[in-house]
A and B are shown apart, each in its own frame.
Chain A
Amino acid sequence: MSAAGSTTALVVGAGIGGITAALDIANSGFPVVLVEREPSIGGHMAQLSETFPTLDCSQCIMTPRTVEVGHHDLVRLHTYSEIESVRRSDSGGFVVGIRRRAAYVDWDKCTGCGVCQEKCPFKVESAFERGIGPRKVIYTLSPQAVPNKPVLDAEHCRYLQSKWDMQAGRIPSVDKQGQPASPKCGACAKLCPTGALNWDQQDTLVEEEVGAVILATGYDLLPASRLPEYGGGELKDVVDGLAFERLLAASGPTAGKVLRPSDGAVPKHVVFVQCSGSRDPERGVPYCSKICCLYVAKQAMLYKHRVPDGEASVFYIDVRAGGKGYEEFVTRAQEEHHVRYLRGKVSRIYSQDGRLIVKGVDTLSHRAVEVQADLVVLATAIVPRVSTPAVAGLFGVAADGNGFLVSGDEEMAPVESGAEGVFLAGAALGPKDIPETVAQASGAAAKVLSLFLRRRMLETTAPAGEGMRAA
């Protein structure tokens, strides 16, 4: 391996964990290759409105970091990209194949002006907005996106689909006059001031040689379809925690107004259901998702800020607020903001006469209760990204039965994996909040740095030509 490669780090996943690790390493003088599947970096933290327990604006505390990592001389960013292959080099490092998906936009020409997004006439459901708002077919995840360069969703693009249909002979490629027909639309290409649209762009493969790896692939939420008793995702006004963050966020589709998805009305009673799929080994996941007690208290509080005459109720099994300032935070929600806490599980949610009925039990009064709600927020279980076990497998890292990454030693070496030179951080290991993820990411970065410093030291002290072998 080249000397440079042996002290270059690969970070997989550019959420707050991956970004933190990348900055810690790069700011110590070592190069970092940062790979992200989505078109831009920031992960779930970019979707959040405010953070607990300080109620900081999530975008505001994150943007300095996304911008720094996006412009860092020592960070090479591969967004819209996936790890495709990993091979160990002779010297113990890794040669990593990275597939960058075709964006149909030449990012070198693109200035990020946003005209294409503005003028694209087609809207589709946005995964980033969690069903609350649409995005255009050519899009960035948010106005603060890093990099601020759009990607084009070929599956929904009128131009590309009609172009491909003509090429495959599914529709005629000549018009009625016998002239060659041109594909439909193409508004973005016509209006792009720098001619950055590239209809023939293909996926590209790059190889990077690195000396250590940090896996920070993050989490997802249990799909609502797994909770048929709560509507299975078919009740419009039953949303998950991330969707409610988008409703609260000033940068979200409603500009921070809490409006229910079905009719845009301001909900006067919002019911939160904790442990939606968590701690439910039979139908959901067996573990506690750890962050829900706090973010539900936060969301209920923020809802009360936005809708002061509204009511917020929380169904909970028990409140697990272990963490600095966390118990006090929940108490604040209850006592200062009058969020009503009902101890018990919800058995069913259905719609009746335009409202939602939440059927559950209040185990403190030993009574079955039926609560009418305008909006229900399910704190659905934290699950690893579907792709995590496969990506980890490429690096020789195991995933447990739930799909979370397994540390080499859960107690004494939590950020080390069983594979040499591969370190782990964040919610890919298990449900985790932001402070804990950041701490773990810095821990993993420190492990990488100590490895790199040892290599550099051996390189400078060992006889010529022997340095890398010894590492």
Chain B
Amino acid sequence: MTEAGRAYSYFPGCTLATTAVDYDVSGRAVAAALGLELNEVPDWNCCGAAFPLSADNVMSFIAPARVLIAAERSGHDLATLCAVCFHVLKRSDAYLRTHSEAAERLNAFITEGDYTGRTRVRHLLGVVRDDVGWEAVKQRVAAPLTGLAAAPYYGCLLLRPQEEMEFDQAERPRVLQDLLRALGATPVEFPRQAECCGSTLVVSAPGANRRLSTAVVDSARLAGAAMIVTACPLCKYNLDQAQAGRPSPEQLPVAYFTQVMAAAFGLLEVAGPAFAVEAST
């Protein structure tokens, strides 16, 4: 595929349109820098926010199915940045692909078109790895992040269940490490890199949520990280909240992988506060 031909249907999702605009902005900027064309899904709606666990109720698939159908009509792969959206869309697609009866019932409800399973749900990190490649990323680096000890934090939704997400090895993921290396940074292995941050427990059980998030931050700090890198807006929110009361020298900045890429690409205006601080010191 030629560089100009790398076009994707892009689904920002509610979080990136509201509280995580910086993820969206940096994501679009680095995609453009790598020659990836992101076409926002027209008239998109929420992905559903949670993969329906009671799969017998097909109505709960309407939200993701409508997004999948819109992407199908564009003829391109569907790319997302939000790990939660990626999780919901990818698994919904996998479910509908293998349950034609459910797809049929949904198609009867959705008027804009039919779900036929022609699109592929991708995370932009996977697009960078598989379609762009680390060599091309290295070539685009303007300011290598030499000496930056960054802890790659995956959380769980991006990876699990491994067979359905088809993204990376759930127990021992590598993609963020490879990215960080391509950007000149030093990935810091830490034991909680693929443990849950507490996710939506922040609403229902804030105490438990805080315990989990704090454990992730402390584990990264103990391993010698100067920064945590994530691909999930919910993870970033939780990790930031867990550190909110701490004096600032004890806080570990949490950056989206797209912001880290932006910093290495020299796109400092979208690289976020973590790199602004570093630039000023």
Contact = CB atoms under 8 A, between A and B. Distances in A.
7 nearest A-B pairs in the assembled complex, by CB-CB distance: A350-B191, A228-B171, A228-B172, A229-B171, A232-B172, A228-B169, A352-B191
Interface in A345-369: 348, 350-353, 357
A232 B222 CA distance: 22
Contacts of A228: 169, 171-172
Interface of B: 169, 171-172, 191, 222
B171 to A, nearest CB: 4
A350 B169 CA distance: 17
Nearest to B170: A228
Nearest to B163: A282
Contacts of A357: 191
Contacts of B222: 352-353
Interface residues of A, number: 9
14 contacts: A228-B169, A228-B171, A228-B172, A229-B171, A229-B172, A232-B171, A232-B172, A348-B191, A350-B191, A351-B191, A352-B191, A352-B222, A353-B222, A357-B191
Nearest to A234: B172
Nearest to B190: A350
Contacts of B172: 228-229, 232
Nearest to A232: B172
Nearest to B171: A228
A228 B171 CA distance: 6
Contacts of A229: 171-172
Nearest to A231: B172
Nearest to A349: B191
Nearest to B219: A352
A232 to B, nearest CB: 5
A338 B172 CA distance: 35
Contacts of B169: 228
B221 to A, nearest CB: 12
Contacts of A352: 191, 222
Interface string A198-238: 00000000000000000000000000000011001000000
Interface of A: 228-229, 232, 348, 350-353, 357
Nearest to B193: A350
A232 B171 CA distance: 9
A351 B172 CA distance: 14
A372 to B, nearest CB: 13
Nearest to B222: A352
Contacts of A350: 191
Nearest to A351: B191
Nearest to B169: A228
A357 B190 CA distance: 12
A228 B172 CA distance: 6
B16 to A, nearest CB: 31
Contacts of B191: 348, 350-352, 357
B92 to A, nearest CB: 22
Nearest to A359: B191
A350 B171 CA distance: 12
Contacts of A353: 222
A229 B191 CA distance: 10
B159 to A, nearest CB: 11
Contacts of A232: 171-172
A229 B192 CA distance: 11
Nearest to A229: B171
Contacts of B171: 228-229, 232
A353 B43 CA distance: 51
Given A232-B172, A352-B222, 8 more contacts: A228-B169, A228-B171, A229-B171, A348-B191, A351-B191, A352-B191, A353-B222, A357-B191
A442 B257 CA distance: 63
A353 B222 CA distance: 9
A235 to B, nearest CB: 11
Contacts of A348: 191
A350 B172 CA distance: 12
A348 B196 CA distance: 13
A353 B218 CA distance: 13
A351 B190 CA distance: 9
A258 to B, nearest CB: 25
A351 B169 CA distance: 19
A237 B171 CA distance: 19
A108 to B, nearest CB: 50
Nearest to A230: B171
A352 B190 CA distance: 9
Nearest to B191: A350
A229 to B, nearest CB: 4
B207 to A, nearest CB: 15
A50 B37 CA distance: 65
A357 B169 CA distance: 21
A351 B189 CA distance: 10
Name the residue among B169, B171, B222 with the largest chain A CB count within 10 angstroms: B171
A357 B222 CA distance: 14
A352 B191 CA distance: 8
A229 B172 CA distance: 7
A205 to B, nearest CB: 42
B87 to A, nearest CB: 19
B53 to A, nearest CB: 18
A348 B191 CA distance: 9
A394 B172 CA distance: 38
B257 to A, nearest CB: 22
A53 to B, nearest CB: 35
A352 B171 CA distance: 17
A204 B251 CA distance: 68
A357 B218 CA distance: 15
A232 B172 CA distance: 8
B156 to A, nearest CB: 13
A357 B191 CA distance: 9
B234 to A, nearest CB: 22
B109 to A, nearest CB: 34
A190 B169 CA distance: 50
A352 B169 CA distance: 22
A348 B219 CA distance: 14
A228 B174 CA distance: 12
Nearest to B173: A228
A350 B223 CA distance: 12
A351 B171 CA distance: 15
B137 to A, nearest CB: 25
A352 B222 CA distance: 8
A357 B172 CA distance: 16
B80 to A, nearest CB: 26
